[in-house]
Each structure stands twice: as C-alpha cells, then as structure tokens.
Amino acid sequence: MTRADAPAQAIAAIRAQRAAGQLLVDRRGSSPEEIAGHLLAVQAQDLQGARLALRARGARLPRLTSTMRLASSAPS
C-alpha cells in the first residue's frame, strides 16, 4: 500500500462502518421493531417511505392493503 492509497482505504472503511451501523450490510430479516430499536427511530414522510426504509434493512413486511393506505392518508 502506498501513501496515496491510505486516504481511499480510510474512506472505504468509514463507509463500511456507517453502512453496517445503519443495518444496510448484514440484512438478516429482522422485525420492524428490532430495526427501529437499533436505529432509535425510522423517519419517513409517508407510510410507503417508512416501509422502504425498513425493507432495505431486511424487515419482512406484508403488502400494503387498501385499508392501510386509507389509514395512512387520513388527516390526523
């Protein structure tokens, strides 16, 4: 390894650590509750965005039903 390679390797190591910390590397099919507990929260602008965030981390989620869509779009 040359001196010029060191910064690139350090950046790659930091990226790998961040991805692992966000549960984006080792996706073992955790539950949505386990994922949210590890991350402390899952933020999304809508239900579909939240589902995608959880699914990217390995959560197995049922398909959205029309009732879930209506419930998520109802004003609070």
For residue 52, pLDDT over 90 is answered with: no
Q: List, for residues 18-37, the tens digit of each pLDDT value.
A: 988 888 887 666 788 888 88
Q: What is the pLDDT of residue 17?
A: 92
The helix (run of H) or strand (run of E) holding residue 7 is helix 5-21
CB atoms within 10 A of CB 22: 14
Q: Residue 70 — very low, low, confident or very high, per pLDDT cuts 50/70/90? A: very low
Q: What is the pTM of this model?
A: 0.57
Q: Residue 46 — very low, low, confident or very high, per pLDDT cuts 50/70/90? A: confident
